[in-house]
Amino acid sequence: MLHFTRWKTIAILATAFFVMLCAVPNFLPRSMVDSWPKWAQRHVVLGLDLQGGSHLLLEVDGNAVRKEMAQNLVDDIRRALREARIGYTGLAVRGNGAEVRIRQANDYQRGLEKLRALSQPLGGILASTGKRNIDVTDAGNGLIRLAITDPAILDRIRQSVEQSIQIVERRINELGTVEPLIQREGTDRILVQVPGLQDPTRLKELLGKTAKLDFRLVDSTITAEQAEQSGVPADDELLKGKQGESYVIKKAIAVSGAELTDAQPGFDQRTSEPIVSFRFNSSGARKFAQITQENVGRPFAIVLDNQVISAPVIREPIIGGSGQISGNFTVQEANDLAILLRAGALPAPLTIIEERTVGPGLGQDSIAKGITASYVGSALVIIFMLATYLLFGVFANIAVAVNVAMIFGVLSLLNATLTLPGIAGIVLTVGIAVDSNVLIYERIREEARAGRTTINAIDAGFSRALATILDSNITTFIAAAVLFYIGTGPVRGFAVTLGIGIVTTVFTAFTLTRLIVAYWVWWVRPQRVPM
């Protein structure tokens, strides 16, 4: 137990030294560290509860995705049957799909075939499952039911999440914040962490809007009041404006906001009110030119998320593909709308299901308190160990100090996040790291009392105690592992430092403490155990 070859000694010291070195970038000024190569820059990331910042968990509205898929299916069915000139009735959304009744019995087989053609094998990573995206069933009596399969829905939700992440990223970047973290969580959630953001209100507003912008014609053949009374025509829908007034708008989208290439906030030249000027891509410009040419003198509506923000009358054809939107905006609103249009419309609405924001004041307080507690706790433990074990107490304290340095080293290597409970975890590790040394020392004293020679007592102490150290630490490690798995945020930070602490504790007990004592024995050749 006490015999260390030169190579072993060098290996142990080198490992400990190297890991401790990894902790260094944390304590040097940022400017210095930034000039080093990437692999040397690894450092501990402060959690939001220590840095201050906002944590938002967004969920993609799966139901909206489902509804849109069903609606698209209805459109596809309509197109397929019309092209084949098959008469139908009762085409409607049903559950996660649609149903339709073929009018004439001799059209039925052809109709079924055409609709079967709509079903396609799933692509991408799901291609190997051999499943299709739509199940077409014959429900008898000319009725055909089409259901979108669950894998297809999940796949679309997954795509929506990917798209949403990109759009969220663009929107957040407009705020000019520091390195936000945006990543997917689970099947339909997005985690957004913005360090340093104190008031997430504006961020929430930007993320809460789908920002689907459409240009559509107003149906001037019927007024809103007439439509409310006698029913809205099949091609139209009733939408409200900003002040609650109603409009009858054609369902067909003349030009979609997806064809915008740019949107900038500005001021109207004549009225000086805030506006958003926009520009279309070439196909959008063409469509826009056509619509405006055909409808001079009629109003057309600019619809944002199913609300009419403005409905100006077309004075002249607009061929250049650019224009401006005015809708009684404040400067902030115009700015935000421009941001949203540039970033793009979200494929499905995002809901904020969890929000945790910590102000910088609290963050700094927490760090200060954490550091104070660490110093006080360590001081108490150091003094106690010195008093109880004298010289060996010094050895134990060195081992614990190296232990803590190694914890920081490993955290840095992993670019792990340090939270306030994480700091508590380090303080606790100090308490428990001492335990391994205590186990060894008490065993040594016991063996010495039982009559062994000094060196044998020390040797036996180590060999008997190390098995126990391993057993007892593994059980705590299991608890830390479970906690890591089920925890989020700050709790996870605690699990990480606890887990790492246990590993480094076992390492230092098995190697460093033993090494120090071995060299002391070799150097001093003690006659008795000095504790």
Map the footprint of other proteins across residues 173-232, applying CB under 8 A. Answer: 198-199, 201, 204, 208
Beta carbon nearer to other proteins, 97 or 425: 425
Beta carbon nearer to other proteins, 218 or 430: 430
Per DSSP bridges, beta strands 45-46 and 417-418 are parallel
CB of 502 closer than 8 Å to CB of 494? no
Give the whole-angstrom CA distance, residue 138 versus residue 149: 16
Total residues interacting with other proteins, rule: CB under 8 A: 77
Residue 420 interacts with other proteins (CB under 8 A): yes or no: yes
Beta carbon nearer to other proteins, 285 or 465: 465
Which span (211-219, 336-344, 475-483, 514-522) binds other proteins, by CB under 8 A?
A: 475-483
Residue 424 interacts with other proteins (CB under 8 A): yes or no: yes
Q: Choose among 136, 306, 323: nearest CA to 210.
A: 306
Q: Choose among 259, 67, 60: nearest CA to 164.
A: 60
Residue 387 interacts with other proteins (CB under 8 A): yes or no: yes
Which span (101-109, 278-286, 386-394, 512-520) binds other proteins, by CB under 8 A?
A: 386-394
CB of 394 closer than 8 Å to CB of 386? yes
Of 121, 376, 453, 456, which lies in the binding site for other proteins, with binding defined by CB under 8 A?
A: 376
Beta carbon nearer to other proteins, 177 or 472: 472
**How many angstroms separate the Cα of 279 from the Cα of each of 26, 80, 127, 329?**
47, 34, 39, 19
Give me the least distance between CB of 52 and other proteins, in Å please.
9
Q: What is the DSSP letter of 259?
A: G
Residue 408 interacts with other proteins (CB under 8 A): yes or no: no
Beta carbon nearer to other proteins, 11 or 479: 479
Give me the least distance between CB of 306 and other proteins, in Å please.
16
Token digits of residue 294: 């055909």
Residue 64 interacts with other proteins (CB under 8 A): yes or no: no
Residue 434 interacts with other proteins (CB under 8 A): yes or no: yes
> CA torsion sign, 505 to 511 to 515 to 518?
positive
Which span (214-222, 233-241, 310-318, 482-490) binds other proteins, by CB under 8 A?
A: 482-490
- How many CA atoms, within 13 angstroms, populate the side-chain half-sphere of residue 64? 13
Site for other proteins in 436-455 (CB under 8 A): 438-439, 442, 445-446, 449
Q: List CB contacts of 521: < 8 A, sequence separation 6 or more.
A: 2, 455, 458
Unique residue bearing structure tokens 């190694």: 406
Q: Is 267 helix (H, G, I), strand (E, B) or coil?
A: strand
Beta carbon nearer to other proteins, 14 or 470: 470
Residue 498 interacts with other proteins (CB under 8 A): yes or no: yes
CB of 144 closer than 8 Å to CB of 93? no
